[in-house]
Amino acid sequence: MLKKKFSIFISFILLVFALLTYQSIKGGGRFIDLPLYPLKLLERAGSAVAGGVKDIFNTYILIIGKEEENRLLRERLNRFEQEKNRYIETELENRRLRKILQLKSERPDYVTTADVFARDPTNWFQMLWIDKGSDDGIAKDMVAIASAGPAGKVQRVFGDTANVILITDVNSSVAVRLQSSRVAGILEGGGDNRCFLKYVSKDVDVKVGERVVTSGLEGIYPEGLLIGYVTQVNREGGEMFQLIEVAPAQDLNKVEEVAIFRR
Amino acid sequence: MKKFLLYLAVAYLAVSVQAVFFRGVKPDFVLVLVCFYSLKHGGLKGAGYGALTGLLIDTVNGFVLGPHILGKSLAAFLVRAVRENIFQWNIVINTLAVTVLSVVNIFIVYICLETFAKISFVNRPWSVSAREVVYTIAASLALYAFFRPERENGSMIQG
Length of chain B: 159
Model confidence at A3, in pLDDT bands (50, 70, 90)? confident
Model confidence at B4, in pLDDT bands (50, 70, 90)? confident
Model confidence at A27, in pLDDT bands (50, 70, 90)? low
First-to-last CA distance in chain A?
59
What's the rounded mean pLDDT across residues B43-58?
87
The chain A residue lying nearest B117, using CA atoms, is A24
CATH class of A173-248: mainly beta
What's the rounded mean pLDDT across residues B91-115?
89
Mean pLDDT of all residues belonging to chain A: 81
Tell whether the model's pLDDT for residue B157 goes beyond 50: no
Task: Calculate how close chain A gets to B36, using CA atoms only, in Å.
Answer: 18
Task: Calculate how close chain A gets to B73, using CA atoms only, in Å.
Answer: 9
Model confidence at A153, in pLDDT bands (50, 70, 90)? very high
Tell whether the model's pLDDT for residue A104 goes beyond 80: no
A204 SS3 class: coil
Number of domains in chain B: 1
CA A243 vs CA A134, A207, A225, A234: distances in Å: 38, 12, 22, 5
Which site among B8, B20, B102 would you substitute to test the A interface, given the most A Cβ atoms closer than 10 Å to its Cβ? B20
Percent of chain A with pLDDT over 90: 17
What's the rounded mean pLDDT across residues A100-117?
79
What's the rounded mean pLDDT across residues A68-86?
76
pLDDT score, position A176: 93
Model confidence at B154, in pLDDT bands (50, 70, 90)? very low
Q: Is B119 on the interface with A (CB under 8 A)?
A: yes
Lowest-confidence pick of A100-104, B59-63, B87-91, B143-147? A100-104
- Does some domain include residue B60? yes
Model confidence at A63, in pLDDT bands (50, 70, 90)? low
Select the more confidently predicted residue: A101 or A193: A193
Question: Are A259 and A110 spatial neighbours (Cβ–Cβ below 8 Å)?
Answer: yes
CB pair distance less than 8 Å for A188 and B123: yes
Tell whether the model's pLDDT for residue A2 goes beyond 70: no
pLDDT score, position A60: 59
Across A22-36, A99-113, B92-106, the highest mean pLDDT is recorded for B92-106
pLDDT score, position B158: 42
Model confidence at B100, in pLDDT bands (50, 70, 90)? very high
Range of the domain at B145: 2-6+26-156
pLDDT score, position A28: 55
CB pair distance less than 8 Å for A16 and B124: no
- Does some domain include residue B20? no
Q: Is B136 on the interface with A (CB under 8 A)?
A: no
| C-alpha to C-alpha distance for A257 and B9, rounded to whole angstroms | 29
What's the rounded mean pLDDT across residues A115-134?
88
Of chain B residues 16-35, which have a CB less than 8 A from chain A?
16-26, 28
Q: Which residues of B touch A253 (CB under 8 A)?
A: 23-24
The hierarchical CATH code for the domain A108-169+254-261 is 2.40.10.340
pLDDT score, position A78: 78
Tell whether the model's pLDDT for residue A174 goes beyond 90: yes
Tell whether the model's pLDDT for residue A152 goes beyond 90: yes
DSSP string, B24-80: SS---HHHHHHHHHHHHH-HHHHHHHHHHHHHHHHHHHT-SS-HHHHHHHHHHHHHH
Instruction: Identify which of B20, B69, B122 has the shortest CB distance to residue A39.
Output: B20
Closest CA to A139 of A109, A98, A104: A109
What's the rounded mean pLDDT across residues A36-63?
64
pLDDT score, position A235: 81
Model confidence at A54, in pLDDT bands (50, 70, 90)? low
What's the rounded mean pLDDT across residues B98-107?
92
What's the rounded mean pLDDT across residues B63-71?
81
Model confidence at A256, in pLDDT bands (50, 70, 90)? confident
Q: Is B128 on the interface with A (CB under 8 A)?
A: yes
| C-alpha to C-alpha distance for B106 and B104, rounded to whole angstroms | 5
- Does some domain include residue B70? yes
Instruction: Identify which of A8, A122, A190 has the shortest CB distance to residue B123.
Output: A190
Question: Are A168 and A252 spatial neighbours (Cβ–Cβ below 8 Å)?
Answer: yes
What's the rounded mean pLDDT across residues A145-151?
87
What ipTM does the predicted assembly reach? 0.79
CB pair distance less than 8 Å for B125 and A192: yes
Q: Which residues of B touch A116 (CB under 8 A)?
A: none
Helix H segments across chain A?
2-26, 36-59, 68-106
Tell whether the model's pLDDT for residue A38 goes beyond 70: no
pLDDT score, position B155: 45
Mean pLDDT of all residues belonging to chain B: 83
- Does some domain include residue B18? no
Task: Calculate how close chain B gets to A68, using CA atoms only, in Å.
Answer: 39
Model confidence at A238, in pLDDT bands (50, 70, 90)? low
Question: Are A162 and A156 spatial neighbours (Cβ–Cβ below 8 Å)?
Answer: yes
| C-alpha to C-alpha distance for B12 and A112, rounded to whole angstroms | 30
- Does some domain include residue B40? yes
